[in-house]
Amino acid sequence: MIRRLIKATAQQVIILLGLAGIPALLTVVFDWEWKKPAEFMEMSATQSEGQMEGLLWVDVRDPDRFEQAHVRGAIALVEETPGPALDSLRERWMPGKRIIVYGEGSGSERAIRAGRMLKREFHTQNVLLLRGGWASWPRDRGVESMPQTVSPQ
Amino acid sequence: MIWLLIRAIVSALFIVAGLLKLRDAELTLISVYQYQLMSWESAGVLAATLPWIEIAGGVGIWLPKLRLGGATLCLGLTVLFIAALGSAVARDLDVSCGCFGTSDLHVTALKRLGEDMVLLVLCGGLWRSELHRIRAQLQFEAETA
């Protein structure tokens, strides 16, 4: 009886896995998303919409560019003196919050370096890059122009 | 009646979780990867497969001929989630679960672990009831054969 029960269970599970496997296989074959480089995922400005509360923005552009305009609530991180920005981030960060780093445009090396440092400092994988960087940010959405740079101590 | 209610709850949870994962594939991938249990490529395959298995399990428990299989899948997935979350908690990892898309980004792993334990009890009960049903069915078939 036990053998027949195991057989019946296995048959049903295999049928369901087979049914789930078809769309899954199509996703794996045709969706190239998962083949992206492992280091950083990117989030577009549109994707960030509606989940701003769960995001912490880090701006790694030059301080004067940051002062002109930046994403609302963003923290300016100056590569040479990251301490004050890190302190400010520590006050606002909690496990589960995602940190989004942006530079001037897409593939900003400064953003990637900052992202690496943030992953290290916060022991988290929840560090993403803003796809397209600041250049992709819609100017009519969540922009501040008041200086927010954290002064070096 | 109670089993119908439990089946509805379990089914809804798995189908909704699967659909939310499909809606934001990128977030699902990050969520899987941040458990640091596998390579990026493996996480990609799992992230693409997992939502469909969840949906198959959720739908399966309503199909008379696949109910036991559906309940087994749901139970197996819950055990898998608990093991992954437990290992993340043990390693003091920052994980946001990702079980229900972006809506649970602030839910701590420990709280999610507690919720998964409740789900485990529900799935376990459902699986047991389906097992009894199939056993009775097989016994009846053996007697009448």
Query: What CATH number is associated with residue A41?
Result: 3.40.250.10
How far lies B114's CA from each of A43, B86, B94, B117, in Å? 30, 10, 17, 5
Residue A53 lies in a domain: yes
Is the domain of A16 the same as that of A41?
no
Q: What is the ipTM of this complex?
A: 0.84
**Neighboring chain B residues of A3 at a CB cutoff of 8 Å:** none
Instruction: Assess contact for A55 and A97: CB atoms under 8 A.
Output: yes
pLDDT exceeds cutoff 80 at A124: yes
Residues A58 and A107 in one domain: yes
A151: confidence class by pLDDT, cuts 50, 70, 90: very low
* Number of domains chain A is built from: 2
In a domain, A62, yes or no: yes
Interface size, chain A vs chain B, as Cβ–Cβ contacts under 8 Å: 125
Nearest CB among A9, A28, A95 relative to B94 is that of A95
Q: What is the pLDDT of residue A33?
A: 54
Residues A76 and A13 in one domain: no
Tell whether A20 and A94 lie within a shared domain. no
Using a CB–CB cutoff of 8 Å, tell me whether A20 touches chain B.
Answer: yes
Cα B14 from Cα B52, distance rounded (Å)? 10
Chain B CB contacts of A31 below 8 Å: 25, 48
The pLDDT of residue B90: 83
Which residues make Cβ contacts (< 8 Å) with residue A88, sequence separation at least 6?
A75, A150
Long-range contacts of A114-120 (CB under 8 A, 24+ apart): A114/A58, A114/A60, A114/A77, A114/A79, A114/A82, A115/A39, A115/A40, A116/A39, A117/A82, A118/A58, A118/A89
| Residue stretches of chain B with pLDDT short of 50 | 102-106
Q: Looking at per-residue confidence, does A139 or B6 come out higher?
A: B6
Residue A135 inside a domain? The answer is yes
Mean pLDDT of chain A: 82
Same-domain check for residues A48 and A107: yes
CA distance A92 to A56: 8
Residues A137 and A98 in one domain: yes
- A125 plus A55 within the same structural domain: yes
Range of the domain at A25: 2-33
Other beta carbons less than 10 A from residue B105's beta carbon: 21
Query: Which residue type occupies A132?
Result: G
pLDDT the model gives residue B99: 58
**Residue A19 belongs to a domain:** yes
pLDDT above 80 for A70: yes
Residues A29 and A40 in one domain: no
Out of B34, B39, B109, name the one closest to residue A126 (CB).
B34
Q: Do residue A19 and residue A91 come from a single domain? A: no
Do A9 and A53 fall into the same domain?
Answer: no
Q: Are residues A74 and A109 in the same domain?
A: yes
